[in-house]
Amino acid sequence: MPLPPCSFLNSIPLKPISPSSSLSAMNGCCGPQCDGAAHIQAVIFDLDGTLLDTEKVTKNVLKEFLEKYGKVIDREQEDTRLGISQLEAAIAVIKEYDLPLTPRQFIDEISPIYKERWPTAKPLPGVNRLMKHLQKHGVPFALASNSKKENVDAKISYHQGWKENFVAVLGSDQVKSGKPSPDLFLEAAKRMGVDAAHCLVIEDSLVIGRWRMSEGITNHGMLANFSSLKTIFPSSMHETQVISKHSVTGVDHMTLRVGVRAANAAGMKVAAVPSQSKADYASIADSVLHSLLEFQPELWDLPPFEDWVDSALPIEPIYASGLFSNGFLCEAEELPLLSVVLLCVWKPEESDACQ
């Protein structure tokens, strides 16, 4: 749900999570997956909205492009297209706005604008922490994106060590079919030398769950919603309060639930971060997370994190764009954007953890 133009920093309630809490409490986990039976040997990441906050830096590209043709963007309609392939998006946009372009012309015109914005995309909270942790413990991980391989390489090239640490980096043009086909995930598992049944897939939104409908593999999927279309920082500044949601207006609620059910039917574990009520997904998702900082490796039989210091977790800077004044963080789409950088630690007790 889109936020109003300006919102109080303390407008989102917090449920802090202690490192000493049980796995069930830490992960919203209440089913048989909590018994340690899920033995994960490798991790497969999506890219956009999962590792990198590309949506934030590119969200106005289509708006600016359409203005050249005298068209006004329909934000609600565009939000329903998150996660589809480049060609599918081109065909849909041309039809929706009646543009005098072929799909190839559209892609050739708009792609350079996107590429100009990619260098400014920041890693999402908890991403570097998790990747360093996996590397330290010898857990292989791969990248499988619906973007073309050359675009994937360009996006990650601005982040030191990323490309070298992935066992495999795959784009949709390297397999027979991109998502929703399972080809990308199967190829990633093959290149890591790990059976698909022991792979954890980390994705960025519930909409991605629709990709699993045709998957005949048994792997484990985690859906983590990290789009920063809108972001609020409540005053007590626990990381679990940094809530970022896809706007799913226009996407049928049952369609989203069917996506998660499809992942279940494919034999995968699902950790969901829904835009709708958490209760709507409690019975069909294996775990519900706010961000990767809530991810508990032990749940998947992976080595636990070792970076807690006296019940506090030092975290990376958090970046937000908008107009920040007198306790407000306002979306400033038509104004020059100011960057707010907050250095925090995540603490389990109810206190102001910003240092």
Calculate the alpha carbon distances from 177 to 30, 305, 330 in Å: 35, 36, 41
Coil vs helix vs strand at 7: strand
Mean pLDDT, the chain, integer: 67
Tokens encoding 93: 């946009």
Residue 32 pLDDT greater than 70, yes or no = no
Residue 117 pLDDT greater than 80, yes or no = yes
Are both 274 and 201 inside the same structural domain?
yes
Distance from C-alpha of 240 to C-alpha of 243, rounded to nearest angstrom: 7
Q: How many domains, the chain?
A: 2
Are both 152 and 299 inside the same structural domain?
yes
Are both 49 and 60 inside the same structural domain?
no
Are both 48 and 60 inside the same structural domain?
no
123 bridge partner residues:
52
The secondary structure element, H or E, covering residue 345 is strand 345-346
Are both 198 and 104 inside the same structural domain?
no
Local confidence band at 99 (pLDDT 50, 70, 90 cut-offs): very high
**Structural domain span for residue 161:** 6-53+124-314
Are both 112 and 191 inside the same structural domain?
no
Q: What is the pLDDT of residue 112?
A: 93
Query: Closest Cα to residue 229, out of 250, 249, 244?
Result: 244
Q: What percent of the chain has pLDDT over 70?
A: 52
Q: What is the pLDDT of residue 204?
A: 66
The secondary structure element, H or E, covering residue 261 is helix 253-265
User: Is residue 205 exposed (0-12), middle (13-18) or buried (19+ Cβ within 10 Å)?
Assistant: buried
pLDDT 10s digits, 121-158: 989 888 899 999 999 999 999 998 888 899 999 999 99
Are both 223 and 94 inside the same structural domain?
no
Q: What is the pLDDT of residue 338?
A: 47
Are both 143 and 231 inside the same structural domain?
yes
Residue 38 pLDDT greater than 50, yes or no = yes
Residues 188-208 have a mean pLDDT of: 78
Residue 175 pLDDT greater than 60, yes or no = yes
Are both 227 and 146 inside the same structural domain?
yes
Are both 154 and 294 inside the same structural domain?
yes
Whole-model pTM? 0.67
pLDDT 10s digits, 232-263: 222 222 222 222 223 223 333 333 443 344 34
Local confidence band at 76 (pLDDT 50, 70, 90 cut-offs): confident
When mean pLDDT is compared across 75-89, 216-230, 274-288, 296-310, the lowest value belongs to 216-230
Identify whether the C-beta of residue 197 lies closer than 8 Å to the C-beta of residue 22: no
